[in-house]
Structures are given as structure tokens and as C-alpha cells.
Amino acid sequence: MDGVFDDEVEQTVTIDEYLKNVEAEELNADLVLGGDEGNECTYNMGYMKRQAIFSCLSCTPDGNAGVCTACSLSCHDGHEIVELWTKRNFRCDCGNSKFGEFVCKLFPKKDVENAENSYNHNFKGLYCSCDRPYPDPDVEAQEEMIQCIMCEDWFHDEHLGLESSNEIPRDEEGEPLYEDFICKTCSTVCSFLTLYPKTIQAAGGKGDATYSNAKDKDVLEDVPTACGSGKLENDICANNSSEKDNATAGKASAVGESSWKNSGSNDSNQCTKDTNLHTTCVLGVDVEVTSPVSEGKPLFLSKNWRDILCRCEKCLDMYNQKHIRYLLDREDTIVEYEKMAKQKREEKLQQQEGAELSFFNKLGHIEKVEILNGIADFKDEFRSFLVCP
Ligand SMILES: [Zn+2]
Ligand SMILES: [Zn+2]
Ligand SMILES: [Zn+2]
Ligand SMILES: [Zn+2]
Ligand SMILES: [Zn+2]
Ligand SMILES: [Zn+2]
């Protein structure tokens, strides 16, 4: 988007290219909004697993409330809105007790408060451990931030608590080689993750020796599922003495790594194929007793890492106690959310098929883009662009 209107570029961009650009932005907007058309307040749908949430600094400057897409458009048009991307387990607050006299135009009969909602400094328009706004007016080049899947706050590379941002698993183009990120504060809550094979964490930081091995592969392909595998037991025997041996960080040895303690290997015959409910703990240890004290290191998780999380009774108890049961829920992930959004988008586009989209039809969707980018004068620029050849 930036650059399209730069004087130099402006002359060379064709309307076709421009519309493609608008379409890409529109898709992007649809992905965030989860295919929500923004017509109805989502309050009646209760605490939604995930939805786009906005905070209105004009109405609730303390950042103690959030509103749905429709409310941000209908009730808070022209207000100072912060776009919070998506949040889990949230119910629209628009017009409840936090808004004083203000009444929601779409669904005014709300409870005074949504007790299950949680709010962080994002609702005040601040992000990261450095507590800065985004975009940051004091910074020239805005840096993309990384979202922690647990607290859902966003972080600058240099504030993740890493020695160097080279430790972030990314490919040459800077695309992430990890599926999920857990910030250093939240990592103390899930120190049990260190009991899983090291491959649950994504490899590929520029300073990582396994980088070239890992980058083209699904790094979890050899990780045993609930039932473990013969290979695992063999490897454990073979690697019995390899405590803290990181020298051979190849894939085979990583699977059998000593941190993968499987004291219950005799039980492996009783394993069921049902990975949704484990009878035997995948970890084979008493998680509460054995969970190491975490040093609070940020975690980058590999693709499909949630699938190998143990679902035995003890582990389920633990997740519940820690209020992190959502980690087992596929629908909690951004990937699933975007998949659903794409589906809704395709259905929508199919409905419109035949009735060729007119130019002004497209302008309707641009409203969404406008919110996402905070480009208030988007339409004006767009019109003047069309007027000048
Ligand atoms: Zn609403
Ligand atoms: Zn407002
Ligand atoms: Zn409203
Ligand atoms: Zn920061
Ligand atoms: Zn976090
Ligand atoms: Zn377990």
C-alpha cells in the first residue's frame, strides 16, 4: 500500500495493478475480520473463540473495553479507534457500563459487564514490553511485530529477550519458519513444553546450526504421537548417555533426545490410536512435579506442535488449571480462523458471480481496508488517482 501513491510510482501504476492491490488489501481485511460482514453486533454469539476486536479511545480511553467489527463501524464511526487484530474468548462490550451514557446502536441490551473478557495494554493502543503505540510516531521505519499466542500482546524483535534477532527462526526472505510464538513471560506458564522433544520448537534462526536441515522440511514429521514409536524407545536406549549432548543436533537424535522421558514405555502396547484422549501420558512423567523451572525464554513452536500435546487426564487437568486448554483447540489458531475467513469469502464471491463487480461495489469493501490501515483519506487519494491519468 505504502508507495502506491508516492509521486514516482503513481505514474507507472495501472488501474489493473491498482485494483489487484486493492483486492489483496481486501483479502487481508477479510482474513482479519474472519469473513464477518460487519453488519451485526456479535454480542449474541457470546464469547467467540476468535474475532476481530477494536478499542475506542474516544469512548473508553482507559482501554478497559473492546467492540466488535460492526460496532466499530456503526457505533464508533469517526471516533479514535485502535484495531486489535483478533482476540480469543471475547464478547462485544459496546454500550455496556464501561461506556457511560453511550448506547450501542446495534444491540443496546447488553449485560453491564462481560466478566470473562480480559484486557491488556493493547486496548490503550500500546504494545510490547516497551509499551509503545503502533505505528510508533517516534520511529521512522515501522517494524512488524510478533504476536504471542498466549497473552496475544505484540512484540518488537529486539524486545523478545533474545541475544540477537538472528535467533528468530526465519528464512532468507524473513518469512517465519515457526508456527506460533510464546513470549518470555508466558513461557514460564508452559515450561512443560521443554519436556517434549526439542523438535517441538522451530529451528532455523540464522545462528542455528540445524538451519539448513530444517528449513525445507516439516520439522515435526518424525515426532512420535501419543503412542510413541518403536523408534523412540530404541533411540532412548541408544541415547541414554547423551544427557545435554547437543553436539549432534541432527533430526534423528533430536527425536530421541534425553528430554523426551518415557518411563512408561512398557505401557506402549496399550496405546490407542485415538490421539484426542490419551490414556497414558505422552510425557510419562508427573508433569507438575517434573516441569522444570522455566528461565523465561521466548519459544518458537514448529508446525503442528499443538497436535503432539498430551491429552491424558493429568495433562488436561494441568491445562485447565493454567487456563490454557485452548492450546488443544484447533479453532483457536489464527490459521484455522483465516481458513474459515477464506471459505466465507469464497462463498461471498460465488454469490456475486454473474453480477460482475462494479467499481463502486468495490468501494464498499474499501471501508474495511480503511479501518485496518487507518488511512482516513484513502478514498480521496483513490479518486484523485483516477482523475489524474
Ligand atoms: Zn458489537
Ligand atoms: Zn467510541
Ligand atoms: Zn455497538
Ligand atoms: Zn518493544
Ligand atoms: Zn505472552
Ligand atoms: Zn499427559
> Ligand 3 center to residue 365 CA distance, Å?
20
Provide the residues around ligand 3 (an ion) whose CB is within 5 A: 71, 75, 94, 104, 106
User: 289 phi and psi, to 5 degrees?
Assistant: -75, -40
If you measure from the C-alpha of residue 298 to the centroid of ligand 4, how many angstroms do you get, rounded to a whole number?
Answer: 14
Q: For the chain, 389 residues long, give each residue's pLDDT as a single digit of tens.
A: 444 444 444 456 677 777 777 777 777 777 777 777 778 999 999 999 999 999 999 999 999 999 999 999 999 999 999 999 899 999 999 999 999 999 999 999 999 999 999 999 999 999 999 999 998 999 988 888 999 999 999 999 999 999 998 999 999 998 999 999 999 999 999 989 989 999 999 987 665 544 444 434 444 444 444 433 333 333 333 333 333 333 333 333 333 333 343 433 334 333 334 445 667 888 876 655 556 666 789 999 999 999 999 999 999 999 999 999 999 998 999 888 888 888 888 887 777 665 555 444 454 555 555 555 554 444 445 555 555 44
C-alpha cell at 280: 497414558
CA gap 69, 379 in Å, rounded: 20
Which bound ligand lies closest to the C-alpha atom of 195?
Answer: 6
Q: How far is the CA of 380 from the centre of ligand 2 (A)?
A: 24
Grid cell at residue 377 = 483519506
**Cα 128 to ligand 5 centroid, rounded to whole Å:** 10
CB of 38 within 8 A of CB of 73? Answer: yes
CA distance 268 to 266: 6
Task: Determine the distance from the C-alpha atom of residue 291 to the mean position of all C-alpha atoms in its chain, rounded to a whole number.
Answer: 25
pLDDT per residue as tens digits for the range 336-358: 888 888 888 888 777 766 555 54
Q: What angle do CA 320, 322, 325 make, to 5 degrees?
A: 45
pLDDT of residue 182: 96
pLDDT at 90: 97
**Does the model's pTM come out above 0.75?**
no
Q: How far is the CA of 320 from the centre of ligand 6 (A)?
A: 13
Distance 28 CA to ligand 4 centre (A): 24
Ligand nearest to the CA of 138: 4
**Ligand 4 centre and the CA of 132: distance in Å?**
7
**Ligand 4 centroid, distance to 128 Cα (angstroms):** 5
Cβ contact 297:187 at 8 Å: yes
Residues 288-304: pLDDT tens digits?
Answer: 555 666 678 999 999 99
Beta strands in 27-120 (DSSP E): 48-56, 81-90
Domain ranges of the chain: 7-32+354-387, 42-127, 146-335
Report whether 312 contacts 274 (CB < 8 A): no
- The amino acid at residue 116 is E
Non-local CB neighbours of 384 within 8 Å, separated by 6+ positions:
none
